[in-house]
């Protein structure tokens, strides 16, 4: 184990107050320095809560770097001892004793030096960087806004790892806690973790009130409180808790929700984008709003919601007919299955052909820049039928919410066409999205992923309903948000909604839940929505 203020290894040469790496045969690929870190972490960021860290944290650092002989840069600037004679050599020896074979210490208090090409040269070849503890304000004073900051971003952008403990973790935030006890002193960090605020020594120093106050001041941000001996390892959009303590996630009060503090023990996995979206949602208006109510399908179009499983021919024949017949242009969107382009034709295409459709196109676009191109959107804007495949509904939200495609989808029914979908492709059509958590479909109400496409206003749609015993799950959503209707779709069954009339086709049932009312409809049965309370 290593305490948070320590660091070490070999192959560095001291020149005044900065250190330059000795010669090596390893050459880094030239990667353009990013304008700023994105939501998805290309490499890895490790935030540790200070104290003696378990060996598994440094094993993870080494593994992410490519091994213990990969170029490693230590930044000790947060410590007041970093200027002492012999401190850099001692740091190198300590890391060397742990098996790291290519270590450079990078340190200055002079911002003009931090912008020099020869000073940042070790960062250009680094596969790993570790920022040790002390006072995070020393780090911002020396490096924020300099080339050091930009090259740290670049290390992560090219797939390397940047980590830090104590002050070295706090500095990873953009909005940074610089000090204070219950009332935080806030400043700006190095911004490797956009939209997060990191605090450390969390339980041991009773810092929950401090982080709660920081988030209260910035309710659109998410707080991460790291215990001593604990690290959060972040890569892509996911984060894993390592060590002997826990990570506390703090979301501020807002949008009709109370403040939330959730503890994640060692071994837990978090989704960073879900947390960012949850925080951002709390900074906006309450959803669903109190005025939310069922409303007929817009524009005189038709909505076909299928519960997954094998669909009877009668369901797909109804879809083709609602689109306008065999020659009507139909577009299939398979993005719920994967962000990657499909390697083979989605199975629904052959099924639609058997139902008589002749003009079917598969549309899979996930590049945000392309989604603003009218030629890319042209198939959607010309479609009379739109089909969403099953998979995970959060992928549709991540790919299309807030883009022109989102409106283009809805416009299909607005101009009198039909939207169909099965499983996740049905759930996305509701106004309130259930089972939207990226880490699994067991969470019915996942903050940050609660807004569906909203083609069917005032509803929450669940699928595989009877087969997976999901009645109580959907009932809990309607109890929490009584302004909603819940639609539970059995496998092999569809609810076809035109205007305010819902009709059932298929071999199972459709359960309609509303405040004080519940109906189960079978093949050929229909009703008008909204469902009125049972007065008996």
Angle 9-14-20 from CA coordinates, rounded to 5°? 80
Q: DSSP code of 265?
A: E
The tokens for 59 are: 């094993």
Identify which of 313, 299, 242, 253 has the alpha carbon closest to the alpha carbon of residue 278.
253
Q: How far is the C-alpha of 294 from the C-alpha of 412, rounded, in Å?
A: 20
The tokens for 262 are: 């959730």
H or E, element range at 332 = strand 329-333
Q: Length of the chain, please?
A: 536
Q: How far is the C-alpha of 340 from the C-alpha of 361, rounded, in Å?
A: 17
DSSP-derived pairing of the beta strands 485-489 and 456-462: parallel
Can you tell me whether residue 250 is helix, strand or coil? strand
Residues 6+ apart with CB under 8 A from 19: 12, 13, 88, 104, 105, 106, 107, 122
Task: Give bridge partners of residue 47 from the DSSP assignment.
Answer: 164, 232
pTM of the model: 0.90
Q: Which residues of 248-264 are buried (b: 16+ CB within 10 A; e: fewer)?
A: bbbbbebbeeeeeeeeb
Q: How far is the C-alpha of 504 from the C-alpha of 522, rounded, in Å?
A: 6
Per residue of the chain (536 residues), give pLDDT as tens.
555 544 333 333 333 233 433 222 222 233 333 445 656 899 999 999 999 999 999 999 999 999 999 999 999 999 999 999 999 999 999 999 999 999 999 999 999 999 999 999 999 999 999 999 999 999 999 999 999 999 999 999 999 999 999 999 999 999 999 999 999 999 999 999 999 999 999 999 999 999 999 999 999 999 999 999 999 999 999 999 999 999 999 999 999 999 999 999 999 999 999 999 999 999 899 999 988 888 888 678 999 999 999 999 999 999 999 999 999 999 999 999 999 999 999 999 999 999 999 999 999 999 999 999 999 999 999 999 999 999 999 999 999 999 999 999 999 999 999 999 999 999 999 999 999 999 999 999 999 999 999 999 999 999 999 999 999 999 999 999 999 999 999 999 999 999 999 999 999 999 999 999 999 999 999 999 998 876 43
Residues 6+ apart with CB under 8 A from 304: 315, 318, 319, 322, 418, 419, 420, 421, 494, 495, 496, 497
- Compute CA 71 distance to the chain's CA centroid, rounded to the nearest angstrom: 30
- Compute CA 25 distance to the chain's CA centroid, rounded to the nearest angstrom: 38
């Amino acid at each position: 184990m290593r305490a948070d203020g320590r660091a070490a290894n070999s192959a560095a040469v001291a020149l005044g107050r900065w250190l330059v790496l000795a010669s090596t045969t390893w050459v880094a690929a030239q990667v353009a320095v990013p304008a700023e870190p994105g939501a998805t972490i290309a490499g890895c960021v490790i935030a540790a809560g200070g104290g003696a860290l378990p060996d598994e944290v440094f094993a993870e650092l080494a593994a992410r770097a490519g091994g213990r002989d990969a170029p490693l840069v230590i930044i000790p600037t947060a410590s007041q001892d970093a200027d002492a004679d012999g401190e850099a050599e001692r740091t190198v020896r300590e890391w060397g004793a742990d098996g790291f074979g290519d270590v450079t210490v990078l340190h200055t208090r002079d911002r003009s030096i931090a912008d020099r090409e020869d000073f940042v040269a070790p960062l250009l070849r680094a596969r790993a960087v570790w920022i040790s503890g002390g006072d995070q304000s020393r780090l911002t004073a020396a490096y924020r806004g300099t080339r050091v900051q930009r090259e740290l971003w670049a290390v992560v952008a090219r797939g390397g790892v940047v980590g830090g403990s104590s002050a070295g973790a706090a500095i990873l935030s953009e909005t940074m806690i610089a000090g204070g006890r219950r009332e935080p002193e806030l400043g700006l960090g190095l911004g490797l973790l956009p939209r997060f605020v990191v605090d450390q020594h969390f339980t041991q120093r009773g810092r929950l009130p401090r982080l709660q106050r920081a988030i209260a001041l910035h309710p659109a941000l998410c707080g991460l409180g790291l215990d001593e001996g604990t690290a959060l390892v972040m890569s892509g959009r996911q984060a894993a808790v390592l060590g002997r303590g826990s990570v506390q996630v703090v979301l501020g009060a807002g949008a009709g929700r109370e403040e939330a503090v959730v503890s994640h023990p060692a071994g837990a996995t978090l989704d960073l984008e879900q947390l960012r979206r949850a925080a951002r949602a709390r900074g906006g208006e309450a959803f669903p709003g109190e005025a939310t109510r069922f409303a007929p399908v817009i524009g005189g179009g038709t909505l076909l919601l299928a519960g997954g499983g094998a669909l009877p021919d009668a369901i797909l024949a109804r879809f083709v007919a609602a689109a306008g017949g065999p020659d009507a242009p139909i577009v299939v969107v398979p993005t719920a299955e994967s962000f990657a382009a499909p390697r083979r034709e989605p199975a629904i295409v052959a099924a639609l052909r058997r139902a008589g459709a002749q003009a079917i196109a598969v549309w899979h676009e996930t590049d945000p820049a392309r989604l603003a191109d009218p030629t890319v959107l042209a198939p959607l804007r010309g479609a009379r039928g739109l089909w969403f495949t099953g998979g995970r509904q959060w992928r549709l939200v991540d790919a299309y919410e807030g883009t022109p495609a989102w409106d283009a989808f809805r416009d299909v029914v607005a101009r009198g066409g039909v939207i169909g979908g099965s499983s996740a492709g049905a759930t996305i059509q509701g106004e309130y999205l259930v089972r939207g958590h990226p880490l699994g479909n067991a969470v019915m109400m996942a903050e940050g992923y609660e807004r569906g496409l909203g083609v069917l206003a005032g509803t929450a749609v669940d699928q595989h309903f009877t087969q997976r015993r999901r009645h109580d799950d959907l009932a809990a959503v309607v109890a929490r948000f009584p302004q909603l209707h819940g639609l539970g779709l059995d496998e092999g069954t569809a609810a076809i909604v035109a205007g305010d009339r819902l009709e059932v086709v298929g071999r199972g049932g459709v359960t309609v839940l509303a405040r004080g009312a519940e109906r189960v409809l079978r093949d050929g049965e229909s009703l008008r929505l909204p469902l009125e309370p049972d007065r008996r």
